[in-house]
Homo-oligomer: A and B are copies of this chain.
Amino acid sequence: MTTICSYTIEQYMKMIEDFHGSSAPGLLIGGFMVDLALKNKPECEFYDCICETATCLPDAIQLLTPCTFGNGWLKVINAGRFALTVFDKYNGNGVRVNLSASKLENFPEIKNWFLKLKKKQEQDKDLLFREIIAAGASILDIKEVKVSPDFIGKKKGSKISLCSQCGEAYPVRERDNGKCLICDGLNLYL
């Protein structure tokens, strides 16, 4: 029986719907991606994840690994590539898994969805999910990678200061002018 990190497809789909709010195709493919990466990652005490897109895939990682956005073990480097890396948090050695555009010839509805060849309302969602389940890991690439030191580990916590404008606590930056980023010009609120 096909499983994703020890869950059945049905169990995993339920987890997706509860957390993500809808049964997104990217999360189902993402499940196969996480599963493949975890089975092939180097032996290590602790691993971190990088996700190369902000869309859907981070939630598969958050559901299936201990890595969440808020605990810092998942980093999102939003390059828009549908790929994730699981790596030893101390030396950066890991595996990268991506959905391969060149492996989709036998799965036309996945290709339509992934390369946006059809508008969302013209896609056949049932067929798309059937193709994803039939394809499993066969549409994925996997390779060994070494993550650059710049993207490993947490930044050392900086000192906390109170913003001279809003009065709120914020982390002091390298070239700091006494204001938090938002008071310093990021117009988040009108």
A contact residues vs B (CB 8 Å cutoff): 19-22, 24, 27, 50, 52, 54-60, 62, 66, 68-73, 76-77, 79-83, 85, 92, 96, 98-102, 114-116, 145-148, 150-151, 157, 159-160, 162-163, 166-171, 180-182, 186-190
Contacts and interface: CB of A to CB of B under 8 A. Distances in A.
Given A58-B70, A70-B56, A189 B102 contact: no
A182 B52 contact: yes
A49 B173 CA distance: 25
Counting every copy of the chain, the complex holds 2
Contacts of A186: 77, 79
A115 B169 contact: yes
B146 A96 contact: no
Contacts of A22: 71
Contacts of A50: 188
A68 to B, nearest CB: 5
B27 A70 contact: yes
A146 B190 CA distance: 6
A96 B189 contact: yes
10 contacts: A19-B62, A50-B188, A59-B68, A79-B180, A80-B171, A81-B169, A81-B182, A99-B169, A146-B189, A148-B189
Contacts of A85: 189
Q: Which 7 A-B pairs have the closest CB atoms?
A: A59-B70, A79-B181, A80-B171, A58-B70, A146-B190, A145-B189, A80-B170
